[in-house]
Amino acid sequence: MEKNKLLMILEKDFPIYKKDIFRQIQPILDKHFETYCTINYKNYFSGLMLDNTDKIEKIFCVVFPSEEIILKLAKQTNKNSLIFSHHPMDWNQFGSGFVPISKRSYELLKTNKISLFVLHDVLDYHPKYAPSIQLLKHLNIKNSKRLYINGEPLGVYFDLNIERLNIFEEELKRKLNLKKLQKVIFNNKIKRICVVAGGGDNIEFISAANDVGCDTYITGIVYFRGNEYAKKNNPPFIAKAKELKINLLGCSHYVTEKFSLLAMTDYFKSLDIKVDFIEDIKSIEFWNKNIEEFI
C-alpha cells in the first residue's frame, strides 16, 4: 500500500487531536529525536515518527520498539515495512524506565526502509483498541464501564462475581502467563476492580478509581523507582492506595498493553495489508525472573 494512503486511513480511524504525553518525556531522554523524527511528529508526538519509505508492504505491531526488535527486523528482508508501536521508545522495567532508540537503531531503520508509527494517548483512549479494553477482553470480562480521568477515558472498571482476591489473582496469572504479580493487598474480599493498563501508578488515577467505588486496582506498574520521576511519584501512589485501602495488582507494563497491539493486527488485516505482532518474550521472562526483588 502507498504510505500516504495508509496514513490517510490511520488519521481517519485514529484522529490525533492533541499533543501526546510523550512531549514531556521524549525530547529530554532522546537526544537523536530532533535529527530523525518527522516535523509532524515533533509537533504532536503521535503518528508517523520515522518516515523511511514510500510504500508499506508489511506492518509489525509492537508495544515497545526495543533494540532487539529493530535488529531482528533489520536482518529480515522486509524492506518497505512499518513498525506500529504504542510507545516511541523501549521500556526497562527493572532499570531506568524509558530507553530511547539508539543512533545505531535509527540508522538501521533508515537504511532498511522501515518506518515507525507511534500511537500512544490516542490508542489509550480508543473505544475499541485501548489497552485497558483489550486486556479485559482477553480476561473475558464483560459489562465494564470506562473510567474518565481528567476528562479522558483512560481506565475501565467492572464488578466481579469472584469475591476472593486470591482466586481472581490466580486466574489473572494464568491468563496473563505471569508467575507473580506486584501486589499491595489490604482486603481479600473484593467487589469492584479498576484497570488502567500500562503506567497507572498515578495518584489522580487511583483517586478516580476510588471515586467510583473500586476496591482493587490493576495496572502495569505498581512498584517502580528506576528514575527520578518514579522516585518522586511512585511512593505517593502506593501511600494513596494505603490511605484509600485499595488493593494493587501490578501485571507488567508490557503484558497489560500487549493485547491492544495484538488486536491492531486484526485492524490492519481488515485493510488487506500483511501484518504480524512481535511478542517481546524477553520482557515476560525478565519479569518472571526478577520480580521477587521488586515487590
Q: Which of the residues 196 through 225 are near Zn ion (CB under 5 A)? A: 198
For Zn ion, the closer CB: 59 or 62: 62
For Zn ion, the closer CB: 56 or 154: 154
In the complex, least distance from residue 250 CB atom to Zn ion, rounded to whole angstroms: 13
Binding residues for Zn ion, total number by CB under 5 A: 1
Name the one range near Zn ion by CB under 5 A: 40-48, 195-203, 239-247, 286-294: 195-203
In the complex, least distance from residue 86 CB atom to Zn ion, rounded to whole angstroms: 6
For Zn ion, the closer CB: 88 or 198: 198
In the complex, least distance from residue 63 CB atom to Zn ion, rounded to whole angstroms: 7
Name the one range near Zn ion by CB under 5 A: 71-79, 156-164, 192-200, 261-269: 192-200
For Zn ion, the closer CB: 149 or 165: 149
For Zn ion, the closer CB: 65 or 198: 198
Q: How many CB atoms lie within 10 A of CB 231?
A: 11
For Zn ion, the closer CB: 186 or 294: 294
- Are the beta carbons of 20 and 120 closer than 8 angstroms? yes
Give the residue at shortest CB distance from Zn ion: 198
Name the one range near Zn ion by CB under 5 A: 8-16, 175-183, 194-202, 229-237: 194-202
**What is the three-state SS of the chain?**
CEHHHHHHHHHHHCCCCCCCHHHHCHHHHCCCHHHHCCHHHHHHCCEEEECCCCECCEEEEECCCCHHHHHHHHHCCCCCEEEEECCCCEEECCCCEEECCCHHHHHHHHHCCEEEEECCHHHHCCCCCCHHHHHHHHCCCCCCEEEEECCEEEEEEEECCCCEHHHHHHHHHHHHCCCCCEEECCCCECCEEEEECCCCCCHHHHHHHHHCCCCEEEECCCCCCCCHHHHHHHHHHHHHHHHHCCEEEECCHHHHHHHHHHHHHHHHHHCCCEEEECCCHHHHHHHHHHHHHHC
Site string for Zn ion, 3-32 (x = CB under 5 A): ------------------------------
In the complex, least distance from residue 215 CB atom to Zn ion, rounded to whole angstroms: 24
In the complex, least distance from residue 257 CB atom to Zn ion, rounded to whole angstroms: 5
- The residue ranges that bind Zn ion (CB under 5 A) are 198
